[in-house]
Amino acid sequence: MQKLIIASNNPGKLREISRILAPLGFEAVPQSAYNVPEAEEPYVTFVENCIAKARHAAHLTGLPALADDSGICVDALGGAPGVYSARYAGEPKSDQRNNEKLIAALAGQSNRQAHYYCVIVYLRHADDPQPLIAEGSWHGEIIDTPRGDGGFGYDPYFLVPALGKTGAELAPDEKNTISHRGKALLQLVDKLRSGQ
């Protein structure tokens, strides 16, 4: 098994990433196992933040690294919270406070369309000039009352109309086939398998 540093300490992301990459022979290891602090994310785009996180983890560990930057973009809020999804309600990070702020911001709005967006970057080493970049989107709408106890983040409020379920009501394997992160990971897997 090839050790691969995951530039995240989010247990939900780690579970999803590990499940998809294990068949390729990668042992996904959280950056915390190497005492890697969280990287700064000063950029306004997902891809720039993602590359910064992967380079940070690869540089400090000397190992290949994978980073994900993702968030929820709500049409009525001009794409917010976007890259600020994890810290939408400020520090410390809190899914509950983020969701409360989102629902409050949408009060009285009839347009509840939203999508999750994910960028994943794989670096072979810290100075890799050709990072593998994959992306995925997952469209739905925001509901006022949470449903389900799976997933994480905004999942209990993110309804997939075609399924009549929220992200938190989906089984992990079902979610991984249709979610933004699942799509990005599968795109990455294709690139890894084709030797890009």
Three-state SS sequence of 148-173? CCCCCCCHHHEEECCCCEEHHHCCHH
CA distances (Å), 142 to each of 49, 72, 92, 158, 176, in order? 25, 10, 23, 5, 20
Q: How many whole angstroms separate alpha carbon 37 and alpha carbon 22?
A: 24
Active site residue 69: yes
Length of the chain: 196
Q: How many whole angstroms separate alpha carbon 110 and alpha carbon 40?
A: 35
Asked whether residue 158 is marked as a ligand-binding residue, the answer is no
Asked whether residue 13 is marked as a ligand-binding residue, the answer is yes
- Candidates 69, 75, 173, 190; catalytic one: 69
Asked whether residue 84 is marked as a ligand-binding residue, the answer is no
Asked whether residue 111 is marked as a ligand-binding residue, the answer is no
Asked whether residue 183 is marked as a ligand-binding residue, the answer is no
Asked whether residue 70 is marked as a ligand-binding residue, the answer is yes
Asked whether residue 165 is marked as a ligand-binding residue, the answer is no
Phi, psi dihedral angles at 15 (to 5 degrees):
-60, -45
**Rg of the Cα trace of the chain?**
16
Asked whether residue 147 is marked as a ligand-binding residue, the answer is no
Q: How many whole angstroms separate alpha carbon 99 and alpha carbon 155?
A: 9
CA distances (Å), 190 to each of 39, 135, 157, 184, 195, in order? 27, 12, 31, 10, 9
Asked whether residue 8 is marked as a ligand-binding residue, the answer is yes
Asked whether residue 46 is marked as a ligand-binding residue, the answer is no
Q: Nearest Cα to 195, choosing from 24, 75, 74, 81? A: 24
Catalytic residue ranges: 69
Binding residues for substrate are 8-13, 70, 152-155, 175, 180-181
Binding residues for Mg(2+) are 40, 69
Binding residues are 8-13, 40, 69-70, 152-155, 175, 180-181
